[in-house]
Structure 1
C-alpha cells in the first residue's frame, strides 16, 4: 500500500496501464513485507499454536538457541513467491474497487448540482472500507493456501531427522494427500481466512485513507505532497489497526491450519475452534501472540507503504 492508496497519480486514467502499475507496485511491497516481517511472524505462530513459550522473548530466544538464526526464516520461500502476488492483488483490487465507486458517485451526481470529481473529492470511509474488504476477499484464494503451507513449515520439528516436509512443494503434496484433496487439505481454514481478510484489509485501507486525508486537509496540501516518511508512518499505524481489528480470526486460522488430519483432527469447523478456544482459555486465548504481532505490524506495514509509494512514483 502506499500513498498509492489514492496516490494522486489517481488523477490519471484508471485503465489497464494504471492497473498494471498498481499490481507491480503491490508485488514490490509484498516482497519487502515478507523480508521485514518473517522473523516476527514465526514467533507469532509459535505462540499461537504452542504452550511451550511463556512470552515472545522466550519463544524468540528458544528458536535462536535451539534452531539457529536461519530458523527465523523457515518457510520463507512460499510467502516470498506468494505474498508478492497477494499484495499485488490487494492493491490491484482495492484501486479497481475505489475507481468503480468513484465513477459510480460521479455518474450519480445530480444535474446542476455539485458533481463528484474522482481525484479531487474523496469517497466516504464506509466506501473505503468496502473497497479494502473487496481487496481482502479477492486475495483469499491465494493467501489461504500460502499461509497454510508457511505455518506448517514454521511449526514442524527442527532437525533433518524430524522434519515432516522437505520443502514447500512436498508440504503441498502431503497436505493434499492427508486432507483428502486440494480443497479440504490445502485450503483448510479458508472460511476464517475469508473473514479475517475482509475485516483486516477493510480496516487497513480505511485507516490509511483517514490518516492521509486528515493530513492533507490539516496542512492544506495535495495528497501527493505528503512526504514519504509520513506515508510510512501512516502505513505503520494502519498496520496496527489491521491486527487489532482482526487478530482473533487469525488465532483461529493458525489453530485450524496446524491441526491434524483424520483421527488426529481436533477442530471440526471454524465455529468449533472458536468454541474450544474460548472454553479452554477464555477471551485471552484469542489474543495470544498479539505483542510480537503489533511489534511486527509497524515496520512491516510502514515498509510496504514506503516501497509501494517509491515504486509508484518511479514508474509514473
Structure 2
C-alpha cells in the first residue's frame, strides 16, 4: 500500500507542473488529422506558439484543461506502476548478483506494470483527452465533445474540469464498456513508454554508479537518468501516443462506432497514407517538454519519498 501511495503522490506532484504541455501535445496531435501537409489551417506552429494561442483564446486557465482527470489518471496509473515495480525490484527477481538490474527483466517488468496501470486508468485518460481537446472555436482541432454539467459550474470553470459529468455522459451513451473505449491503444502506448522510462532510468543510474560519476541515490543520478529517459520515451512513444489521442478523441456514430477509425490498425494506415511518417510525430516537442520535466520530477519525488519513508522506519539508535 505504501508503494502505491508513494508512486501516486510523486506522479501528482509532477502532473501539476507538466499538464499544460500535455494539453498542448494533444492539440498538436489532433491538428490536421488525416489531412496532408498544407491542406489544413495551422493554429499551432510550435509549442511556444501553441501556448500563446491557447492563452489568448482561452485564458491562462485554458492551459490546465483536463487537470482533474489527469491527476486521477496519475494516481491510478503511476500508483499501480511504481508500486508494482518497486515490489518487483525489492523481490530481487530481476536483480543480478552484482546488484545491477537485468536488462530483459527491467524491460519486461516496466512494460507489464505500465500496461496494468494504463488499462485500469483508461476511463480517466479518455476524459482527459476529451477535455484537453475542447477549445475556443477560433483554435479548435479534432472532434469537440463539449462535456459540461452543473458540477463544473459549481466547483470549476465550465468545460475545463467536467470529470464526473463526462464519465456519466459516456457511460449513459455507450455503457460501461464505453468508458474503456480506446483502452486497447493504452497497451502499446503505456507499455512502450513505461518500459523505455524505467529501463533507461534504471540503467542510467547503474552506468553512472559503475563509472564512479554519481552514486545511485544522488540527485544528480536521478536528474541525468530522468532526462535521458525523457528523450528515449518521447522518441519511442510518440507514434503510439498520436494513435491513442486520436482514437480516444474521435466522435462516435449512433451505434457507438468510431467516425474515423475502426481499429488501431485502421488508424495507423489512414494516418500514414494522409500524413506520412511525420504524422506519427506531431507534437513531439510537446511530448518531450512534457515528459522530460515530468519524468524528472516524478522520479525525483519517487526517490525522495522512498528515502523519507526508509529514514522514518530506521531505528533512531539505542537510547538505553
TM-score (norm 1): 0.82
Unaligned ranges ≥5, structure 1: 1-19, 106-115
1:97 is displaced (CA, Å) by 3.1
> Which residue in 2 is equivalent to 1:5?
none
Q: C-alpha deviations, 1:92-118, integer Å up to 9, x for none?
A: 121233345x3487xxxxxxxxxx55x
Q: Distance in 2 between matches of 1:121 and 1:94?
A: 16
The correspondence for 1:69, drawn from 60, 83, 102, is 60
2:76 paired residue number: 85
Decide whether aligned partners of structure 1 residues 266 and 98 sit closer, same or farther in structure 2, where only a CA change above 3 A counts: same
Deviation at 1:145, TM superposition (A): 1.5
Q: Distance in 2 between matches of 1:131 and 1:220?
A: 27
Per the TM alignment, residue 253 of structure 1 is displaced from its structure 2 partner at its CA by 0.5
* Whole-Å separation in 1 of the counterparts to 2:199 and 2:172: 40
Write the distance in 1 (CA, Å) between the matches of 2:94 and 2:6: 26
For the 8 Å contact 2:205–2:215, the answer to whether it is kept is no
1:266 equivalenced with 2:260 (yes/no): yes
1-structure distance, mates of 2:230, 2:253:
36
Aligned residue runs from structure 1 range 135-150, under 5 A = 135-150=113-128
Asked whether the equivalents of residues 93 and 138 of structure 1 are also in contact (C-alpha less than 8 Å), the reply is no
Cα shift at 1:221: 7.3
Separation in 1 of the partners of 2:131 and 2:172?
A: 16
- Confirm or deny that 1:202 pairs with 2:228: no
- The answer for the alignment partner of 1:289 in structure 2 is 283
* Partner Cα separation in structure 2 for residue 306 and residue 75 of structure 1: 24
State the partner residue of 1:29: 10
Distance, in Å, in 2 between the alignment partners of 1:220 and 1:274 is 42
Whether 2:28 is the aligned partner of 1:47: answer yes
| Structure-2 separation of matches of 1:220 and 1:277 | 44
> Alpha carbons of 1:234 and 1:103: their partners in 2 closer, same or farther (altered >3 Å)?
closer
C-alpha RMSD over aligned residues: 2.1
Q: Cα gap change, 1:191/1:314 in structure 2, threshold over 3 Å: closer, same or farther?
A: same
Q: Distance in 1 between matches of 2:60 and 2:215?
A: 44
**Which of structure 1's runs of 4+ aligned residues deviate more than 6 A?**
none
**Are the aligned partners of 1:131 and 1:202 in contact in 2 as well (CA < 8 Å)?**
yes
Q: Output the CA distance in 2 between the equivalents of 1:222 and 1:31.
A: 26
Which residue is equivalent to 2:317? none
Q: Normalising to structure 2: TM-score of the pair?
A: 0.81
Q: Specify which structure has the bigger relative contact order, considering alpha-carbon pairs within 8 angstroms and separated by 6 or more residues.
A: 1
* Number of aligned positions between the proteins: 278
Q: CA–CA distance in 2 between the matches of 1:163 and 1:144?
A: 19
